[in-house]
Amino acid sequence: MINSRPLRTAIGALFLGIAGGAFALDTVSITASALSPSCLDYRVVGICYWLQCGLGGCSVRTSVKVRHYIPDAVVSSYANTGENPWLELQLLSTANSTAQGGGDGTTNQDTENNLAKFRNADVIGHPAGVVFSEFAAASGYTCEGAGTPLMPYLLSTLDTLAWRYNVPELAYPEALIPGMREIGGRLTANLWGNVYPRGGILHQVDDHKASAVVAQRAGDIVTRNGQPHVYQPLLASRKEGYWPAGALEEGNISTGKWQELTPRLSNSCAVFPDSNSLTQATRGDYAWALWRPYSCCKRMGQKFLGSTDFM
């Protein structure tokens, strides 16, 4: 068995060094960011029951049920087409004949705010892979996530009709009725934006908030089947002793949470709206790691009988 402690120590030191100052968002820094005990949030949540049968008869055996978060994907939200802040993967989303340009709109009126913003979005499998598995295994038995490292799940440059023209979601009730599927609240004067229509255009003065809303939209799409977009679902199938993450819901940490990667690398996770982190990027390029919760238990027999949760 490979001794993972030196590996964890080295990458942990790298992570701390990156977090302390400016850096380029690359695969190494993203991988190091996954070593976050806070985002992992490892817990024993119950007991699983298994039926084990042999020559001597049958017996009921138990195993511990655990729950922890896994960084399934990196979600980039950026203004200029082809300028994904994840440097090595910029070539995946270069401009094409149906997706060119980007940035903000303008009213050309000095007395009005420039509210219209456009963001591209890419959802790419988190690269941590084996490094994260070694890190999480130090806490105990671990679950498998849905993400495949470096797999593109959504590239908005290939989703032109839905992403740039909001077809068909512009006519959905969630896009037309105020108060439905919104990030933040109107009554608290902290409304960041609406989830629908799930495209790249929205009205928001704050650049960071606009990009976060677009990231939430992209995460919303890929964590569901059968959406009217060009994408691959980021979902795993449930099986005996394994409860994968489901659909992402805004403001609901039990469905997923976000770790800021750029312009400020954070060692913790939160849901939007997160007013503790509103650092503005100079070129309108932002990225977050999407962490999602998984529960599982070790197989201890031929037949899964069920589980009991402590909470």
Q: Which residues contact 285 (CB under 8 A, 6 or more apart)?
A: 76, 77, 78, 79, 80, 83, 84, 85, 262, 263
Strands (E) in the chain, as ranges, are 43-54, 57-78, 103-104, 116-118, 120-125, 152-155, 182-183, 193-194, 201-203, 242-243, 257-262, 285-297, 303-309
Say whether 204 sits in a helix, a strand or coil. Answer: coil
pLDDT band at residue 103 using 50, 70 and 90 as cut-offs: low
What's the pLDDT at 207? 92
Half-sphere exposure of 251 (CA within 13 A, CB side): 13
Q: Which residues contact 205 (CB under 8 A, 6 or more apart)?
A: 113, 115
- Report the distance separating Cα 252 and Cα 234, nearest Å: 18
CA angle (187, 189, 191) in 5-degree steps: 95
User: Does 167 have pLDDT greater than 50?
Assistant: yes
What's the pLDDT at 47? 97
Half-sphere exposure of 277 (CA within 13 A, CB side): 22
pLDDT digits (tens, 9 = 90+) for 209-241: 999 999 999 999 999 999 999 999 999 999 999
User: Does 110 have pLDDT greater than 60?
Assistant: no
- Report the distance separating Cα 275 and Cα 74, nearest Å: 21
- Report the distance separating Cα 234 and Cα 34, nearest Å: 18
| 177-181 average pLDDT score | 92
Residue extents of the structural domains in the chain: 5-309
pLDDT band at residue 36 using 50, 70 and 90 as cut-offs: very high
Q: Which of 18-32, 184-198, 239-253 shows the lowest per-residue confidence on average (mean pLDDT)? A: 18-32
